[in-house]
Amino acid sequence: MKKLLLLFVILLNGCGDNKVTPEMLVGEWKCDIKLEGVTDLDWLFDSIKDAESTKSSIAYKIENKKLFEKPDGQKDWIFIDEKNLKNSEDINTDESGDTTKIIRNVIYISNDNFKMEYIYESSIKDYYEIDDIAELATDYKLIHRGEQISKGKIETNCFRVN
């Protein structure tokens, strides 16, 4: 009977639902951001372009049962939909056949540490490049390069401050 009770206690304690929740996020965090292959994605990641890695801080609060964040340098709190705390994969294709895929992974490490990964991939079916630009901007030649695929990854590893 003691063995059965011990097994039950181990199962209850060892099989907790370890995931990033709004309640877990409340407080201040310091984050390390690492970039891989995002050189041509500065339009998507303006705040961290031209850097291979950077540090940032962010604060979270819950108000009226809603999650808000306040990143470094922001004056106002920003509402965060709880679906952003779940893993997801979004694929969008436009009318020309160009495809954008963003994978978001939210990884629980401990109550004082979590990681977010954004993996980006775009495919442009008919990519053109400007070649032989003359003195006048109206005189240039477009070169068809075929399909262009861009890939990038942003990994944010955050640690609780307080």
The answer to whether residue 102 is domain-embedded is yes
Quick check: 38 pLDDT over 70?
Answer: no
In angstroms, the CA 152 to CA 162 distance is 32
Quick check: 78 pLDDT over 90?
Answer: yes
Place of tokens 């979590």: 114
The answer to whether residue 74 is domain-embedded is yes
Q: What mean pLDDT is reported for the chain?
A: 76
Range of the domain at 73: 23-160
The answer to whether residue 135 is domain-embedded is yes
pTM for the structure as a whole? 0.67
Angle (CA) 18 23 24, round 5°: 50
pLDDT at 96: 79
**Quick one: pLDDT band at residue 114, thresholds 50, 70, 90?**
very high
Average pLDDT (61-76) is 92
Helix (H, G, I), strand (E, B) or coil at 138: coil
Lowest-confidence region among 28-32, 114-118, 132-136: 132-136
The answer to whether residue 156 is domain-embedded is yes
The answer to whether residue 2 is domain-embedded is no
The answer to whether residue 51 is domain-embedded is yes
Number of separate domains in the chain: 1
The answer to whether residue 108 is domain-embedded is yes
The answer to whether residue 10 is domain-embedded is no
